[in-house]
Amino acid sequence: MTLDPDKLLRAIKTDLATFAASNKAVVFACQDEYSALMQLASAPQGFIIVINDDGDTNASEIDELYMVTAKVRVSVGFNPGLHMDKGDPVLLPEAGTNRPSLLAMIASVRTRMLEQTINTGDPLTAESVWRYTGRAPTRLPGNVPLRAYSMTFELNTTLAATTLRELTPPT
């Protein structure tokens, strides 16, 4: 058994859903970066957490091993609504609310992700933990910034076993 990216995104969303609800946020799982950016750009008022597959890379120098490093991007954004006050919650929470700042929410989501252990069902990587590789501001095409940051997490796993087939090119 190997790690299916679709099932992985669903498991992460399920884990973050309880966290999101207790922090007055919504959470979405998207299969690609475009869908994730559209969710962030059209976010409802408040916090939004968007998870998307970020591809994978070969992690083995042995051809038949099929080890990969799976990548997941987790973005956290905040939409203050139609008005902006001087007490903008980018660094500090709004007065009179129980809402954390955007940067505090990002730190909490990162901690929540790093607490997860992933059971890959694979004897080579039976239980894995996320490797955090960094955070960057989220931007739309045209370099338009959003009030959001994206974090990247990586996980080593294997691909499904394959049976080799010989192909004979036409002469």
CATH number at residue 45: 3.30.2000.10
91 Cβ contact list (under 8 Å, min separation 6): 101, 103
Is residue 168, in this structure, part of any structural domain at all? no
150 lies in some domain: yes
Kindly report each contact of residues 160-164 with a partner whose C-beta sits within 8 Å and lies 24 or more positions away, as own/partner.
Answer: 160/2, 160/66, 161/66, 162/66
H or E element, residue 139: strand 131-140
Domain-embedded: residue 111 = yes
What pLDDT is attached to residue 168? 86
Which domain covers residue 82, as residue numbers? 5-158
Residue 73 parent element (H or E) = strand 67-79
pLDDT of residue 1: 42
**pTM (predicted TM-score):** 0.83
Task: Determine the Cα angle at 5 with ends 58 and 119, to 5°.
Answer: 90
Residues of the chain with pLDDT under 50: 1, 89
Q: Is residue 118 part of a domain?
A: yes
Q: Count structural domains, the chain.
A: 1
pLDDT digits (tens, 9 = 90+) for 63-106: 777 788 889 999 999 987 655 555 554 555 555 566 788 999 99
Residue 42 falls inside a structural domain: yes
Task: Supply the DSSP symbol for 101.
Answer: P
